Amino acid sequence: MAVSDLSTGMQVVTRIAAILRVVGSAGGDGVTTTALARSAAIPRATAHRMLTALADQGLIDRAPSTGLWFLGPEVYLLGSVATSRYDAAPVADDILRALAGDTGESAFLSARRADESVCVSAVEGSFPLRSHVLYPSKRFPLGVASAGLVMLAHLSDAEGQDYLDRTDLAAAWGSAHSRAAIESRIQQTRISGYSVNPGLVVEGSWGIGAAVFNALGQPQWALSLTGVQARFAGERTELLGETLLRAAHELTQRLKRKP
């Protein structure tokens, strides 16, 4: 195979992965061809051809009445096969409910997928004022929001530095996510064990995260609590952090015992 053919093939795979991620992030709302092409940085005509081809394979589905694209039935079938290996949500369900019930805040489970954290499960808290920054299927780069930050902080030094060397979070997320700022928060997270997002994604919306580890000791998931600033700042920060750490330890132990 010629180098040019290999490069073209890799580009196609990369674009397919980007399309599936964008459609998946849209959840039940679906996404238009134009919006998908913009988010995936693919020419609209190319995006439409690829979406049509993926629909023929059952990986993408289109609503005839609206023209919106959704994940297709084949993705569901593939996902069900992978569930036993990667899905921590069923194991974490009662832990999330206990966190939400005990604290009154909304509790979340996120999974690490390459350079991103992806929210996979959520339980709303009882406190009437809530943050709506995080929800199932929402993705953030590692280092952004509490789940992404705590995962990044618990990577090995080499892996974490490699990520920061090739990632410019400040370009998309502002000066609060400069490399120096991220490294400072990583250091603080390693000291306390949990991460704090003091309204850096949306003003007034705070989050606290704790890492959950796989059998190899890698930060594969994170538990987090989110809410309004008044409920998270001050002495309650440490209380919520310690609560999360206990819950994360329990989930880590469960996942190690999972067959």
Domain 3-78's class? mainly alpha
Q: Which CATH superfamily is domain 87-257 in?
A: GAF domain (3.30.450.40)
pLDDT digits (tens, 9 = 90+) for 195-208: 999 999 988 889 99
pLDDT digits (tens, 9 = 90+) for 25-60: 887 889 999 999 999 999 999 999 999 999 999 999
pLDDT digits (tens, 9 = 90+) for 180-236: 999 999 999 999 999 999 999 988 889 999 999 988 899 999 999 998 888 888 889
Q: Where in the chain is the domain with CATH 1.10.10.10?
A: 3-78
Nearest residue to 51 via CA among 91, 89, 104, 15: 15
What interhelical angle do 3-26 and 44-56 show, nearest 10? 80
First to last CA, the chain: 41
pTM of the model: 0.70
Q: Where in the chain is the domain with CATH 3.30.450.40?
A: 87-257
Token representation of residue 11: 């580009």
Rounded distance between C-alpha atoms, residue 176 and residue 228, angstroms:
19
Amino acid at 183: E
CB 57 within 8 A of CB 74: yes
